[in-house]
């Protein structure tokens, strides 16, 4: 037989990719352009398109194509075998959940999301608690339906970080958390915190916009195959290799907030613009895992965008955009300003020294919930205790505490670890990059980002989903995922900055 089933599989996957792109475009419009009264209608449109895509993907015929391709009768080229492999994995996961379960889950999450929005407004966890209890039961059911070895959390983790196991994760975080907390304590007690008084001036939004566009272009983001817009919560979305869009946000008192938002999303977007043309409209044109995707955004945002060579390049340019920045402000001053360490209540505003601690405490809580070692009612109390232990600060209310993140209200547990893994993967990959491009910092200082982008394209981007995150890390570094490189990075950078 010819490659007919492969052709049919590709055709079907292409149609599903088109539907998903349409849904993503509806979602992008919702966040960027949509008038407020359109919300309910848009919700229905999104649900319809998503259901259609899901139905097409879980169709019995899809199972037959895959079975035929996997039975060994067809000699598949490596790229085709990878496609069949990845698709079969998604197919098995998607078909393990009965339609009634998917429907109930969608209904309960939409109620929970509404309840969470209100509960956060009045800062009352009890108003959200019954919904989270329902979702937790559904999540445990989901883990049972999907199947797992060891902890049921493994089944949920697989959705975001396929191949990562809870035992490995716990071992990494057990080493990372106390060391990072100790570093934060040393920095907080340091006698030379950065002086940021020079930033107290007006930073016109239109100039901030121009600066972010300039930086994105310099990074290699292709504005002919994407665009930047403004949204409350910055995000990246892709409708295909040639349409990858980012959003950013502005703070009138702080231009560096927009710079880091744009660079973060730009890192995600460069990944999505770097998949191979031949993988377009297939599941291979996706990131290896959420953690690997996050490694790309965090590397550009923090390791590059908060480095001294980067600001040596952009310091003179700052005056092009903001003529009244005083000449005595040096690149070093900017570098110190963008690297202030201050334990704070809100994860998304956290600096790179404290960020992982926010993530690890959420992971510990959701793991204990899934493994039935604690109940939902205990969350506020446990949250406060962990904030005290890891960051040394008191939580004044639920809104700034356990109600701040959207994830649980969307029925998402197992996602948080990917944020911390992203930082760790970035540091591991970056050590290798510095070996391969010894003069990297010299190039960054002269504004040449291409060697870095070229390296990432070669070793990370072009593989799409051909490798699992752990395989990719192993291939690049020869080691397992670990925290030592990230700790080395933080200790060196902040030890020097803060003189501790």
Q: How far is the CB of 418 from Zn ion (least distance, A)?
A: 9
Q: How far is the CB of 349 from Zn ion (least distance, A)?
A: 14
DSSP conformational letter for 299: I
State how far the Cα of 295 lies from the Cα of 90, in Å rounded to an integer: 23
Any catalytic annotation for residue 68? no
State how far the Cα of 481 lies from the Cα of 458, in Å rounded to an integer: 20
Residue closer to Zn ion by CB (options 125, 355) is 355
How many positions of this chain bind Zn ion (CB under 5 A)?
Answer: 1
- Do β-strands 244-248 and 236-238 pair in parallel, antiparallel, or remain unpaired? antiparallel
DSSP conformational letter for 368: H
State how far the Cα of 264 lies from the Cα of 271, in Å rounded to an integer: 11
Residue closer to Zn ion by CB (options 300, 335) is 300
Residue closer to Zn ion by CB (options 109, 297) is 297
Q: How far is the CB of 422 from Zn ion (least distance, A)?
A: 7
Q: How far is the CB of 231 from Zn ion (least distance, A)?
A: 14
Catalytic residue, chosen from 114, 149, 265, 431, is 265
Distance in Å from the first CA to the final CA of the chain? 69
Contact 204, 235 (CB under 8 A): no
State how far the Cα of 455 lies from the Cα of 12, in Å rounded to an integer: 33
Binding mask 274-313 for Zn ion (x = CB under 5 A): -----------------------x----------------
Alpha helix ranges (H) inside 160-307: 166-188, 205-219, 255-273, 290-298
State how far the Cα of 281 lies from the Cα of 293, in Å rounded to an integer: 19
Distances (CA, A) of 306 to 205, 225, 258, 419: 21, 26, 13, 18
Contact 239, 269 (CB under 8 A): no
Residue closer to Zn ion by CB (options 255, 287) is 287
Q: How far is the CB of 272 from Zn ion (least distance, A)?
A: 12
Residue closer to Zn ion by CB (options 269, 376) is 269
Residues tagged active-site: 265
What are the residues binding Zn ion (CB under 5 A)? Answer: 297
């Amino acid at each position: 037989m010819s490659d007919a089933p492969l052709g049919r599989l590709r055709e079907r996957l292409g149609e599903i990719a088109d539907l998903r792109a349409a849904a993503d475009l509806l979602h992008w419009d919702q966040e960027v352009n949509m008038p407020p009264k359109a919300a309910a209608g848009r919700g229905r449109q999104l649900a319809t398109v998503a259901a259609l895509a899901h139905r097409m993907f879980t169709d019995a015929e899809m199972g037959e194509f895959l079975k035929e391709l996997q039975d060994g009768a067809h000699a598949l080229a490596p790229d085709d075998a990878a496609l069949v492999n990845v698709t079969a994995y998604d197919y098995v996961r998607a078909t393990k959940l009965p339609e009634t379960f998917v429907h109930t889950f969608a209904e309960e999450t939409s109620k929970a999301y509404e309840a969470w929005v209100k509960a956060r407004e009045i800062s009352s966890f009890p108003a959200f608690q019954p919904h989270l209890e329902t979702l937790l039961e559904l999540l445990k059911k989901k883990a049972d339906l999907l199947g797992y070895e060891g902890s049921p959390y493994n089944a949920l983790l697989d959705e975001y970080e396929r191949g990562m196991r809870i035992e490995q994760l716990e071992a990494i975080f057990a080493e990372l958390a106390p060391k990072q907390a100790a570093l934060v304590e040393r920095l907080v007690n340091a006698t030379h915190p950065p002086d940021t008084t020079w930033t107290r001036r007006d930073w016109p939004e239109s100039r901030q916009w121009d600066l972010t566009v300039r930086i994105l272009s310099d990074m290699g983001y292709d504005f002919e195959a994407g665009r930047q817009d403004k949204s409350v919560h910055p995000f990246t979305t892709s409708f295909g290799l040639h349409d990858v869009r980012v959003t950013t946000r502005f703070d009138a008192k702080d231009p560096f907030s927009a710079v880091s938002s744009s660079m973060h999303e730009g890192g995600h977007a460069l990944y999505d613009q770097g998949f191979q043309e031949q993988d377009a409209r297939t599941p291979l044109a996706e990131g290896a895992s959420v953690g690997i995707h996050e490694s790309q955004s965090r590397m550009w945002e923090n390791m590059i965008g908060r480095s001294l060579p980067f600001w040596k390049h952009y310091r003179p340019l700052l005056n092009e955009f903001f003529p009244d920045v005083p000449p005595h402000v040096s690149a070093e001053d900017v570098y110190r300003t963008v690297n202030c360490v201050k334990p704070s209540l809100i994860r998304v505003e956290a600096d790179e020294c404290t960020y992982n601690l926010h993530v690890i405490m959420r992971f510990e809580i959701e793991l204990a919930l899934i493994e039935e070692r604690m109940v939902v009612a205990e969350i506020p109390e446990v949250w406060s205790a962990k904030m005290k232990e890891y960051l040394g600060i008191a939580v004044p209310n639920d809104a700034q505490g356990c109600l701040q993140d959207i994830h649980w209200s969307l029925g998402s547990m197992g996602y948080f670890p990917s944020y911390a893994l992203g930082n760790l993967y970035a540091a591991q990959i970056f050590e290798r990059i510095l070996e391969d491009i010894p003069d990297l910092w010299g190039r960054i200082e002269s504004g040449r980002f291409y060697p870095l982008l070229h390296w990432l394209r070669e070793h990370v981007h072009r593989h799409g989903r051909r490798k699992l995150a752990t395989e990719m890390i192993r291939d690049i570094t020869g080691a397992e995922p670990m925290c030592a490189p990230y700790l080395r990075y933080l200790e060196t950078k902040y030890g020097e900055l803060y003189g501790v």
